[in-house]
Structure 1
Amino acid sequence: MPHEMVFGNIPNIPNLKVFGCICYRNNNERDKTKSRANKCIFLGYSTTTKAYRVFDIEDGKLVTAVDVKFLEKEILHPHPVMEDMIETPPIPTNAHDDERSKVDETMD
């Protein structure tokens, strides 16, 4: 059902952000040697507070943040930290193929 039919008003679309875009969250640290913001990837909105859910690339953590600046035209390419977090299931093999390879090995 369209939003307008359910809630009786037109949704405010400009508030929506591009999923997976680059963003920077304020790290609120007072250390002058550290950067003031951490590079993140926008993942969505918090369901419990008025905040954003972002993946902090530098810390490797999923964070809820309010003070976020978005670069919606920039999408991050796969990052080594993210690849480590994704588990790929093993490729199933056909039992018939296993038997055939065993027969080939015994013939050699």
Structure 2
Amino acid sequence: MDGFRYYAVFIDDYSRFTWFYPMKAKSDFYNILASFMALVQTQFSSKIEVFQSDGGTEFKNSRVRELFNTNGTQQNGRVEGNHRHVTETGLAMMFNAHAPANLWTHAFSSTAYIINRLPTKLLGNQSPYEMLFSSTPNYGNFRVFGCCVFPYLRDYSSYKLAPRSTPCLFIGYNTQYKGYQCLDPSTGRVYITRHTQFD
């Protein structure tokens, strides 16, 4: 839907917290990796010490190797299980919702959001979110991917007599602003709002 064909998933080995980044081309990986490394340094006052990858061609790029060397990051290993978890869970959500294939980035992003907040035996029944942020996640905002939602559209209206809402599909959580992503199937427009009524 947004022109994305690939994705990168970064997983913190300590907390198992997952970050999902869709990409339009594999060449986007360098910029995404650089942004992610900056995010880790800014948000967590830490550098990435060891980077394990699936050994794809994007990791053999000389610019990527130089970025790792500059940051003192060692690169090794193969990581497949976590990517498979995101992919299989995202596909299951799409199939359950009978969602079209062009919503895959929204399903996979929602999967990462949910996985980050679910307790796991690997972490002593804590969630990755708890491990990383030392606080309990909010489960009250979980919704079924693809369900019907009625967003409050007053903020989006261009005139006073416009409809206050319209039936939409819930396609995920916004990670930058608090709110739900609501797709209007008749126009293809995505609304982001906290004020919604779910069916």
Higher strand proportion:
1
Deviation at 1:65, TM superposition (A): 2.3
Matched, 1:47 2:175: yes
Give the TM-score normalised by structure 1: 0.52
Secondary structure in 2 aligned to 1:53? strand
Cα shift readout 1:21-57 (whole Å, capped 9, x = no counterpart): 11001222421xx543111011112232222211012
Matched, 1:60 2:177: no
Matched, 1:14 2:14: no
Cα shift readout 1:8-30 (whole Å, capped 9, x = no counterpart): 22222122222111100122242
Higher relative contact order (CA 8 A, sep 6+): 1
Cα shift readout 1:49-74 (whole Å, capped 9, x = no counterpart): 22221101233212222321111xxx
User: Partners in 1 of 2:176 and 2:132 — Cα distance?
Assistant: 22
Higher helix proportion:
2
Change in Cα spacing, 1:10 to 1:62, as seen in structure 2 (3 Å) is same
- Unaligned ranges ≥5, structure 1: 72-108
* Structure 1 stretches of 4+ moved >6 Å: none
Aligned residues: 69
Determine if contact 1:38/1:57 at 8 Å carries over to the other structure: no
Matched, 1:24 2:175: no
Q: Which amino acid aligns with 1:6?
A: L
Determine if contact 1:38/1:58 at 8 Å carries over to the other structure: no
User: Partners in 1 of 2:153 and 2:136 — Cα distance?
Assistant: 35
**Structure number with larger C-alpha Rg:** 1
Secondary structure in 1 aligned to 2:140? helix
User: Partners in 2 of 1:10 and 1:26 — Cα distance?
Assistant: 28
Calculate the aligned-residue CA RMSD, in Å: 2.0
Change in Cα spacing, 1:10 to 1:45, as seen in structure 2 (3 Å) is same
